[in-house]
A and B are shown apart, each in its own frame.
Chain A
Amino acid sequence: MKRYIPQFCAVVLLMIASCSSEPKKLPILGNREPFEKDLNGKKVMDTIYQKIPDFSFMDQDSVIINNDSLANKIYVADFFFTSCPSICPIMSKHMLQIYNKYHGNPNVALLSHTIDPKHDTIPVLKKYAEKLGVKDNQWHFLLGNRDTVYQLAKTGYMSFAAQDSTVPGGITHSGYMILVDSKRHIRGAYDGTDEGQVKQLMSDMDILLAEEKAKKNEK
């Protein structure tokens, strides 16, 4: 009986090793719909995942940012306004940590949508970015029509923003940071005010970047 122990150990080790070599994968979040498609004459089931809808906004450098400019990139999106006294500063601080970590990485972008377009004009956004220490064009502070942005938050990012005179600053919004892949699928949502969640976001970004890289190599 005893002589089987080494073999047993080897099998266990092999199992552990094969487990860990499997790369981690993030889920695809949001609504989904099954549909039938033709594959070589056979009918197979497939799934349509929720996608971030088309958008086109102007950033702090008056550059149009749309889905084409974000092709082949993963990005993190959040909603804020420059005069926000509540959760925005802590979210900006955490976005800044992400920005500093992925600084210069051509596959990563950051989007901060202002939800107060009346006050946050391009020069205001530019000044905000500069004072935060953002000097290049990796982090976009986006200006768009108010209702379009609110609608995008709700239907696109499963987040929310709305006017509310009862809260400080006059606009209420969620503190979520949304991770989006190059196919415009939502791959994660994190509480941008929580340091632990933001750490999780950054480690998930590494997982997503590895996945995107593997996909590119397949092609």
Chain B
Amino acid sequence: MRNKIILLAIIPLAIIIFISSCGEENIKYQRYYSDGSQLYKIHCQNCHMSNGEGLGQLIPPLTDSIFLRKNREKLVCYVNYGLNDSIKINGIDYQGQMPAEKHLAAIDLAKTLTFITNSFGNNQGIYDVIEVQKNLNNCK
């Protein structure tokens, strides 16, 4: 009988510890990522495709993790202001124009980039709104 009471007390405690250990950061990341996947569908997928592979030598893929890591600060500029000059990804020059998505709010840019940098074989953690704002100010 006594054992049962102890067990009944321990189970809820264990659940509480489990939930809180998920952490606020993780929940924030999950929220960014799932919202980002919806934003990606609306604003990016037509060109970069559902699997992020792009189109031939016309539209670059989003699968080059090294490029994404190296140019992490510039990513938000690419999305916000578009691209007019060529860009080299996986050794291929892409010369097409990328349309600007200036209507996106900073928080939406953050969610979209979080989705992109953690999908298609990329795994680079959250790209949060503070980082977006900082990098936007440094766009050339």
Contacts and interface: CB of A to CB of B under 8 A. Distances in A.
Interface of A: 83, 85-87, 89-90, 92-93, 96, 128, 130-133, 168
B56 A96 contact: yes
B60 to A, nearest CB: 11
A93 B55 CA distance: 7
Contacts of B59: 89
A89 B97 contact: no
B58 A131 contact: yes
Contacts of A133: 56-57
B58 A85 contact: no
21 contacts: A85-B46, A85-B47, A85-B99, A87-B46, A89-B47, A89-B55, A90-B45, A90-B46, A92-B55, A92-B58, A93-B49, A93-B55, A96-B55, A96-B56, A128-B58, A130-B57, A131-B56, A131-B57, A131-B58, A133-B56, A168-B99
Interface in B4-26: none
Nearest to B54: A89
A128 B57 CA distance: 9
A206 B58 CA distance: 30
A89 B97 CA distance: 13
Closest 5 CB pairs of A and B: A131-B57, A132-B56, A85-B99, A89-B47, A131-B58
A90 B56 contact: no
A93 B52 CA distance: 13
B97 A83 contact: yes
Given A83-B97, A85-B99, A168-B99, A132 B55 contact: yes
Contacts of A87: 46
Contacts of B97: 83
B93 to A, nearest CB: 10
Contacts of A131: 56-58
B99 A89 contact: no
Q: Which of A87, A93, A96, A128 has the most B CB atoms < 10 Å from its CB?
A: A93
Interface in B45-72: 45-47, 49, 55-59
Contacts of A132: 55-58
Contacts of A128: 58
A81 to B, nearest CB: 12
A133 B57 CA distance: 8
